[in-house]
Amino acid sequence: MSSAVFPGSFNPFTVGHASIVERALGMFDTVYVAVGHNAQKNSPADTEKIVRQIETWAETVDSERIKVVSYSGELTADLARRLGCSCLLRGVRSVKDFEYERDMADINRRVAGLETVLLFALPDQAAISSSVVRELASYGYDIKPFLP
């Protein structure tokens, strides 16, 4: 059984995130979507809302193979070990993402022997970020086209 952890803030979970998970289902038996809870940025209730948003989406795709978890106060590498995953999954939209992901992948390999699988953003989704979606929402724009 192969499994990967897809860690992130997912605030909110966008069509870009959904595409990464759906495409990874062709490579792994199970994909854990791991919502990182940051006490400085979010309340536990916010994180719970994000988990529910992703679970609702996962039910429409493959609730057996997509598992949604939240975590805090734990290194992502330790979470992966706890879940029995030897692989991290991340998405790359740009050169900026690439450099960050390369450095994180190197550290995770060194400290935990974890490999990172990177999937490129679909070209028409490369500009979509949770922060832009949040900003649009704060100005009253309809964000449905950005949510799966």
Give the catalytic positions in this structure: 17, 41, 93, 130
Determine how β-strand 30-36 pairs with β-strand 66-71. parallel
Taking the complex as a whole, how short is the minimal distance between the CB of residue 111 and ligand ADP, in angstroms?
17
Site for ligand ADP in 117-146 (CB under 6 A): 121, 125, 128-130
What x/- string results for residues 53 through 92 when contact with ligand ADP is judged by CB under 6 A? -------------------------------------xx-
Phi, psi of 123 (to 5 degrees): -50, -40
Is the Cβ of residue 37 or residue 90 nearer to ligand ADP in the bound state?
Answer: 90
- Inter-residue contact 28 to 119 (CB < 8 Å): no
Is the Cβ of residue 1 or residue 10 nearer to ligand ADP in the bound state?
Answer: 10
CA distances from 120 to 44, 50, 61, 69, 147 (A): 31, 23, 20, 23, 18
Contact between 8 and ligand ADP by CB under 6 A: the answer reads yes
Q: Pull the structure tokens for residue 1.
A: 């059984």
